[in-house]
Chains A and B, each alone.
Chain A
């Protein structure tokens, strides 16, 4: 299995509070890797290092290494803006831009200089199809994205990141607040997408992680407790804490 993302002894503090306590993990290419754990365990913070959105926080100290395809993403040589094209992010609450569905998807490509209408249309259709949203909106691409339902908006957000043709997709609790049908659609989309992309799914919903992820990582209070294939973690976890969490004894 190829390593796409390599985190090595990563430590992160906000001021005096240490939020990530020496994390070492290798995320494999073209897989869905689930990051699970109760709130405050550092999963979202780890994500924000990978997409360098941590840059927008104040008072942050980072030590250790993080690499994508062997190249460090933490030192000065990398351009975070270009990184964010390669690493797409879907957030917990869908935030469509206040514009049409078409323009939401086209936002990223336009930034990169693609302005030709036909090309954009192809990209929009392709991205929406991959996010399992095309059929529902193909006749109203020019209507406001704000008029979509929650589940549709979240798939829109997924399509939005796909339009930039990233290599990695990070999803932070993407289905919290969505109905089961929308959740299923997104999970189906992710399962199809993993053949082309490397996907990290952060979720507090262990059942979801068990359903669709190939590998699972359990985080607790800033530490990586266990990381293995999903099958192994869920049927024969090595740590009692992992077992307790999966069984819902805390969370």
Chain B
């Protein structure tokens, strides 16, 4: 005699299996699709010609994205230069110095900052940062430095929240032990707390990089649109994300495949960054 509850339990289990497999399907669909569309061009034209090619003129058979790889990299490093010190300082302040009231003010503020859409940052960047750079530093204002400034602010929430988690998870006993030996708060922080939280903090930087390199809207509004490797911070540039966003709407045939190849490179870079960060974080948790 089969119990109705037992039947129902089995039914539920299989429904959930179906849900889980569908989720998996959707998730892997995007990987597979981008790879499937992006690889053919690598095979047809040659990996080297694409990744190290200096000229991007897809309608004429040139698919070199090296300048864009460099530009993406530069903009990301720039964002880190702007965002990492400031972000880490905020995280330290939040975890070591801020009282309850300050925390209650700061944490929501950071979350709100994280929620501001990319296009708003891009817009404000164009209206305020670009002219500032143009008037005080030169060039058109649509430049590496403008983009780095705006991106640096955009990745602050990522760096702050993950560094904060790392700092806060340093055991209380470490702080107490250090204080017991007569160290000032700052000495405790830079001799004991930061080194202990080191891998989490590093992970936050790497994830911030991942975020910056994947940014699209703000970047295409501020970075200008030059297909050459920028030689100064005042030069305009085009990133991998920009490449896709600016040409997707009207690309056909091999041109379109070229955009997919750009996507494959971008995806690979981000997956590597995420892997490094998670590997680093796992080491921290394992400790």
Contact = CB atoms under 8 A, between A and B. Distances in A.
Do A and B come into direct contact in the complex, CB within 8 Å? Answer: yes
Interface of A: 79, 81-82
Contacts of B116: none
B6 interface: yes
A79 B5 CA distance: 10
The 5 closest A-B pairs by CB, nearest first: A79-B3, A81-B5, A79-B6, A79-B5, A82-B3
Interface on chain B toward A: helix, strand, loop, or mixed SS?
helix
A82 B5 CA distance: 10
Interface on chain A toward B: helix, strand, loop, or mixed SS?
helix
A46 to B, nearest CB: 26
Nearest to A77: B1
A82 B3 CA distance: 10
Interface of B: 3, 5-6
Contacts of A81: 5
A124 to B, nearest CB: 24
5 contacts: A79-B3, A79-B5, A79-B6, A81-B5, A82-B3
Contacts of B5: 79, 81
Contacts of A82: 3
A189 B3 CA distance: 35
Contacts of A79: 3, 5-6
A79 B6 CA distance: 9
A127 to B, nearest CB: 23
B280 to A, nearest CB: 31
Contacts of B6: 79
A81 B6 CA distance: 9
Contacts of B3: 79, 82
Nearest to B1: A77
B1 to A, nearest CB: 9
A135 B263 CA distance: 70
Nearest to A79: B3
A81 B3 CA distance: 10
A16 B5 CA distance: 34
B11 to A, nearest CB: 15
A79 B8 CA distance: 14
B223 to A, nearest CB: 52
A81 B5 CA distance: 9
Nearest to B9: A81
Nearest to A111: B5
A76 B159 CA distance: 55
A78 to B, nearest CB: 11
Nearest to A82: B3
A82 B6 CA distance: 11
Nearest to B5: A81
A81 B8 CA distance: 13
A97 to B, nearest CB: 20
A31 B110 CA distance: 63
A154 B19 CA distance: 39
